Structures are given as structure tokens and as C-alpha cells.
Amino acid sequence: LPFATMSSKTGTFHLQQPLNYRAGARIQPVDGSHSEEVNEPATGRVMGKFLFSGEKEVDLAVQSAKAAFKIWSQKSGMERSRVLLEAARIIRERREEIATMETINNGKSIFEARVDIDISWQCLEYYAGLAGAIAGQHIQLPGGSFAYTRREALGVCVGIGAWNYPFQIACWKSAPALACGNAMIYKPSPLTPISVVMLAEIFTQAGVPNGLFNVVQGGAATGQFLCQHQDVSKVSFTGSVPTGIKIMEMSAKGIKPVTLELGGKSPLIIFSDSILENAVNGALMANFLTQGEVCCNGTRVFVQREILEAFTKEVVKRTQKIKIGDPLLEDTRMGALISRPHLERVLGFITQAKEQGAKVLCGGEPYVPDDAKLKNGYYMRPCVLGDCRDDMTCVKEEIFGPVMSILPFDTEEEVLERANNTTFGLAGGVFTRDIQRAHRVVAALQAGICFINNYNVSPVELPFGGYKMSGFGRENGQAGIEYYSQLKTVCVEMGDVESVF
Ligand SMILES: NC(=O)C1=CN([C@@H]2O[C@H](COP(=O)(O)OP(=O)(O)OC[C@H]3O[C@@H](n4cnc5c(N)ncnc54)[C@H](O)[C@@H]3O)[C@@H](O)[C@H]2O)C=CC1
Ligand SMILES: C[N+](C)(C)CCCC(=O)O
């Protein structure tokens, strides 16, 4: 196992192996022109370099996936299920090693990375369970004739991922894709290129045909070669809205179906009858996982005026206690942001918020850990903003960092209007003890994923995806199957053909 001997101390990992994966092995791309550095967010150190793939390598990856698709798509659901279960078992076995790699490359705490890896193998197990149940329908027609439907694979699917959940996003895409009989070529974000290659190795070890899951590395250009390739049948994308628009435009040229999991600016509505401690915990969960770099975060926290003071006081107190630092230490709960430019961008939103009249109630400044090796890492103190208004930039735009905006409200009608007044629609949450109100509020929220009296839990059995400009298509849950398969109708005549001519 290539990573088994790696050191699990921050500041010590060196990238040595190629990060492309084709036909069952790590390889260097045939036309790797541009090389890119990989950083360790916790220290700001360069861990090594890797090559971006050009059009030739993309084509070779597609050809190899096509060959694997021929074999894999002929297998029964039960046969595919067994292989996926074996892959899930290997991930469980290598959990610590994968979580450590994820922490080193992303900067999130090891505590969270372990949860990410657990969700990842659970996703494979879940779709392994569904693989044998993928079936069509039988439809009786007059005179003994009948029809049936077949749920068939699409072919070679492309997955393009963001940097916040590198391994998990790859599993959310590949598990349903492979369960349905497809092949997949995956392109991770160039900021987090490492862990997905471990997934590719695990699939091979579990018994998928060589080429069924290939990895190409690169940025926009490589992504474009993938989306434009004529032998690619589908593109599943997780990332920002502007890139999502480009992906959809490119895919439109080839009439390729797309799944888009894009950003958000989700509302979390806290009514005065909530259990305060749960509401505070919910708001922390909604804002500070993975340094706030989570698409479905509830960053607009609407608090009913009667409890505004009590809630704010408690949320600030708890935020100040979050332990920031070396992400590989057991008691760290917030690590480093993904990159220096991203950290600057997040801090810029806070400066702008102050200029627009918001009050920084805590945090919002860079954090320099005592440990000397961490002093160039990309850390900041999590921030709570008070005195926010709906027209402020920090309330309108996705910050993708640990910044919570608190917004007072008076009535249910008013808060719903304000909560929905956004072009995004990924998630939303409500805290209240009034069950009728809870269901009424989520029914009115224009969002794909809603939480009542919790936030940001995401069991793999539940469909995940957005409304409005947060995208379309669903990942996870039974719904995921629909987005990686197509329906064929077969009409069978049992009598003679009656011609009208
Ligand atoms: N809804 C969801 O499930 C999630 C959404 N996001 C969103 O992602 C964003 C942050 O992630 P980033 O990696 O910065 O987003 P991004 O959109 O810049 O990049 C995402 C991926 O697309 C690739 N890409 C960039 N330009 C491309 C092009 N022209 N053609 C093809 N591929 C291209 C990138 O290399 C990367 O792999 C945030 O806005 C966040 O809201 C992040 C995680 C989950
Ligand atoms: C796991 N969860 C719900 C915290 C986040 C998953 C969505 C994403 O990739 O940002």
C-alpha cells in the first residue's frame, strides 16, 4: 500500500508518486505540460509537484474507460454490488490513512476528516445495496402484447470535484455511477489532487475492471477537454456557480446530461420557542465545519428578536472556544483554510462587512499558532457578525469561510420572504418547538435540502442537491440512480402486425 508508511505528522509528507490513474495504475500523463505545486494548508509548505493532463491524456483515459465499460455494464447488479462492498471494506480498513491524507491536503481537522471517510464508505455500501435492486417495469398491453423498461447505464461519466471534500465528493459521484454500470473519469480540484488516487487504487484492488475509474489531473483546460469529449455521456460537477454555467454550456453542445452541485447562501431560521442550546449547536454546525468551506452551510442565521441577545451571547461564547490549530492533533476542531488567496478573500469579506456597518462580535482576523512550523499556515479565527442587514455583501454572497451573519427578524411571514430572497437554493434550516410551524416553514423554503431542529447532517440515504442557481440533479439516496442511468422502453408485439397502408 503506497501510503501506508507515510508519516502522520504535519509538515512531513512529500508527494512522490504520479497522481494520474489510468487502466489500473498510477501513471504520468502522456502530454503533461504544465506542472503545479501542491500545498499543505496547515504549514503553507509545498509538498511536491504534479502534472496537468492535456487533450491526449484525456482521450486515453476515455478510451480506457470505454473498454472497461464494456465489461462492467454486462455484469449483474449483484456482481457489481460485491465489488463495491469490497471497496467499502478496504476504505474502512484504511480509514486512518485516508483521513490523514485528506487532512494534510485540505487542512480540515482529522476529527472531521474521519467522519468524511466514514460517509464515503457508507455511500459505497448504500449503492452496493441498491445495485441489485435496479430494475425496470413490465407493462401489459392489449392482446397479450406487452412492454418492459430497462434501466441502463449511460457509458463513460465524468466527475469534476471541488476541494472541500475531495475524497467524499469522489465517492458521492462514483458510487452511484459504478452501481448503475457506468465507468467514470474523475478530475479533482488541482488544490486537492491526492486522495482520489487512493480511491482509484482501492477500486482496482476491490476488483473493478482496469480503466473503470480513471483519474486525470488539471484545472479548467483539462475539465473542458473532458466535458467536450464526444465519448463522454454525462458530467457530474461540484463547484461554483460560474464554473457550473460553463459546464452546462459545454455539455449542451453534446446534449450531455449534467448534475450540478453548486454553492449556496442558505438560511437558518431560529424561532424564539427553540431550545436555545440546540439552536446554538445547530448554528455552529451550520457554519464552522471544514473552516466554513461547505456549500450547504446556513450562513444567514435569522434569529427572532425576543431571543436575539441570549442567542448571540451564547453563539459568540461557543465560537471563541473553538480550538484552532494543527489539524492532525486530536483535539483540534478547526484547521487551516484551503489556500492563502482564499484566506485573503474571506478576510476581505469581513473588512467589507465592517465598512457596510456590520459589527464583528468575535474572530475574523488571521490566527498564528504558537507552533513554529504552522506559522505560514492559512488560519483565521471563526467570525460572528452582528448588526447585519439583508443588503450587505456578507449576507448576499457566498463567503466559503468561517463567517456567520446574524440577522434579527420578527414574524414568520417576514423571515420566509427574506430567507427566499436569494438566487441560491441549496439548503435551509428551522429551529422551533412548534411542529406545525416547522413543517410550514420548510414547505415554503426554496431549497433542496431542509433541516428541522438540526443542521448539516447528511446520511447517504438522503438525496442531496439544490434548487434555483444552486444546481439540479441529486446525489445520494435512491434518487441518485436516476442521474446515472437511462430508461429504455421495449415494446413487444404478440400478435400480427396491422398496417394502415
Ligand atoms: N453543492 C455542492 O455540493 C458543493 C458546492 N461547492 C461550491 O464550490 C465552490 C468552491 O469550489 P472550487 O473548487 O473553488 O470551485 P470551482 O468551480 O472553481 O472548481 C470546481 C472544479 O471545476 C474545475 N473547473 C474550473 N473551471 C472549469 C471549466 N471551465 N471547465 C471544467 N472544469 C472546470 C476545477 O478545476 C475544479 O475541479 C464554492 O462556490 C462552493 O459553493 C463546493 C462543494 C460542494
Ligand atoms: C457533509 N456535509 C453535509 C457537511 C457537506 C457536504 C456537501 C459539500 O460537499 O460541501
Pocket test for ligand 1, best of 192, 217, 225, 243 (most atoms within 8 A of CB): 243
Distance CA 163, CA 155 (A): 26
Q: Residue 214: is its pLDDT beyond 90?
A: yes
CA-closest residue to ligand 1 atom 20: 239
Split at pLDDT 50, 70, 90, the class of 5 is very low
Ligand 2 centroid to residue 218 C-alpha, Å: 23
pLDDT mean over 51-80: 98
Pocket test for ligand 2, best of 291, 424, 458, 460 (most atoms within 8 A of CB): 458
Split at pLDDT 50, 70, 90, the class of 6 is low
pLDDT mean over 193-221: 98
CB under 8 Å to 142, separation ≥6 — which residues?
none
CA-closest residue to ligand 1 atom 33: 220
pLDDT mean over 360-374: 98
Active site amino acids: 261, 295
Ligand 1 centroid to residue 427 C-alpha, Å: 18
Q: Residue 369: is its pLDDT beyond 50?
A: yes
Alpha carbon distances (Å) from 210 to 8, 106, 117: 30, 28, 24
Q: Residue 184: is its pLDDT beyond 60?
A: yes
**Chain mean pLDDT for the chain:** 97
Does ligand 1 have an atom closer than 6 angstroms to the CB of 374? no
pLDDT mean over 199-218: 98
What ligand 2 atom has the least distance to the C-alpha of 456?
3
Ligand 2 centroid to residue 296 C-alpha, Å: 6
The owner of cell 484492488 is 205
Q: 82: which 3 cell numbers?
A: 460485491
CA-closest residue to ligand 1 atom 36: 189
What ligand 2 atom has the least distance to the C-alpha of 293?
10
pLDDT tens-place string over residues 123-162? 999 999 999 999 999 999 999 999 999 999 999 999 999 9
> 169 by DSSP, 3-state: which?
helix
pLDDT tens-place string over residues 470-500? 999 999 999 999 999 999 999 999 999 999 9
Task: Check residue 8 and give its pLDDT.
Answer: 79
Ligand 2 centroid to residue 297 C-alpha, Å: 8
- Structure ipTM: 0.92
Ligand 2 centroid to residue 454 C-alpha, Å: 14
CA-closest residue to ligand 1 atom 29: 220
Does ligand 1 have an atom closer than 6 angstroms to the CB of 416? no
pLDDT tens-place string over residues 445-469? 999 999 999 999 999 999 999 999 9
Q: Residue 267: is its pLDDT beyond 70?
A: yes
Does ligand 1 have an atom closer than 6 angstroms to the CB of 190? yes
pLDDT tens-place string over residues 352-362? 999 999 999 99
Ligand 1 centroid to residue 238 C-alpha, Å: 5
Q: What is the pTM of this model?
A: 0.97
pLDDT mean over 23-30: 98
Q: Residue 24: is its pLDDT beyond 70?
A: yes
What ligand 1 atom has the least distance to the C-alpha of 218?
35
Task: Check residue 1 and give its pLDDT.
Answer: 41
CB under 8 Å to 106, separation ≥6 — which residues?
41, 113, 163, 164, 166, 192, 290, 335, 338
Task: Check residue 78 and give its pLDDT.
Answer: 98
What ligand 1 atom has the least distance to the C-alpha of 239?
8
Task: Check residue 7 and give its pLDDT.
Answer: 61
CA-closest residue to ligand 2 atom 9: 165
In the chain, count of helices (H) and strands (E)? 15, 20
Task: Check residue 50 and give its pLDDT.
Answer: 98
pLDDT mean over 180-199: 98
CA-closest residue to ligand 2 atom 1: 458
Q: 198: which 3 cell numbers?
A: 487512493
pLDDT more than 90, % of the chain: 98
Report which of 59, 57, 87, 92 is spatially closest to residue 178, judged by C-alpha positions. Answer: 87
Task: Check residue 21 and give its pLDDT.
Answer: 98
Task: Check residue 442 and give its pLDDT.
Answer: 98
Task: Check residue 33 and give its pLDDT.
Answer: 79
Ligand 2 centroid to residue 255 C-alpha, Å: 29
pLDDT tens-place string over residues 371-393? 999 999 999 999 999 999 999 99
Q: Residue 4: is its pLDDT beyond 80?
A: no
Identify the nearest ligand to the CA of 191 by its number.
1
List, chain by chain if needed, residues with CB within 6 Å of any ligand 2 atom.
164-165, 169, 289, 294-296, 456, 458
pLDDT mean over 79-99: 98
Q: How many residues does the chain have?
A: 501
Strand order in the sheet with 183-187: 25-27, 20-22, 213-215, 183-187, 156-160, 232-238, 258-261, 471-472
pLDDT more than 70, % of the chain: 99
